[in-house]
Amino acid sequence: MRNLSGQFNKESFGHPFYFRRMKYNYILLVDDDVDDAEIFTMAVKAVDDSIKISVENNALDALKKLKEGKKLPHIIFLDYYMPYLDGGEFMKLLRGIKGIKKIPVVFYSGHSKVALKELVEKHKTAGFLKKQGDFSDLIKALQEMIHLKLPSLRSD
């Protein structure tokens, strides 16, 4: 389904996510769990090997690099519960950085969908992606988000 701004509302597909009509060629993942970050990176590369992905295991370091603004990501996937700075605190600081406000942020967490939906509403992020127990499910979810491959919306 599309909302009035022409963006896709992913609510009916299991998580709210407002898509821009573009391919995300540069992804930033902020996740303190090295294993989860490696799995996420492998899944992104399985979707499209040409996508550049940067991983920051420390939210403070991620903010510092974003402030430098050398190369900004097209989309940020953010673990919510991390040491030093949680996702909510990260979002407050991120929104204060000039030129960053329009980069979509997606919470990437293992918490329940209900809790994630509440966090999305509270922090005004683009949506969430629940950490998957199955690698192929993660690939499918990323494929839909990154490339806008929504089977019910395709006109083949």
Residue 22 has what pLDDT?
A: 54
For residues 94 and 66, is the Cβ–Cβ distance under 8 A?
yes
**DSSP letter for each residue of 77-136:** EE-SS-SSS-HHHHHHHHHTSTTTTTS-EEEEESS-HHHHHHHHHHHT-SEEEEPPSSHH
Q: Specify the pLDDT at position 54.
A: 96
**Cα 32–141–78 angle (5° rounding)?**
25
**b/e string for 95-121 if b means 16 or more Cβ within 10 A?**
eeeeebeebbbbbbbeeeeeebbebbe
CB-hemisphere CA count at 13 Å for 135?
13
C-alpha 89: how far from its chain's center?
A: 16
What are the pLDDT digits (tens) for 2-35?
333 333 334 423 444 444 445 688 999 999 999 9
Residue 147 binned pLDDT confidence (cut-offs 50, 70, 90): low
The pLDDT, as a whole number, for residue 144 is 83
pLDDT range class, residue 100, cuts 50, 70, 90: confident
52 against 19, higher pLDDT:
52
**What secondary structure, in 3-state letters, does 111-124 show?**
CCHHHHHHHHHHHC
Does position 156 have pLDDT exceeding 50, yes or no? no
Domains defined along the chain, listed by start: 8-147 (3.40.50.2300)
Q: For the whole model, what pTM was predicted?
A: 0.80
pLDDT of residue 3: 32
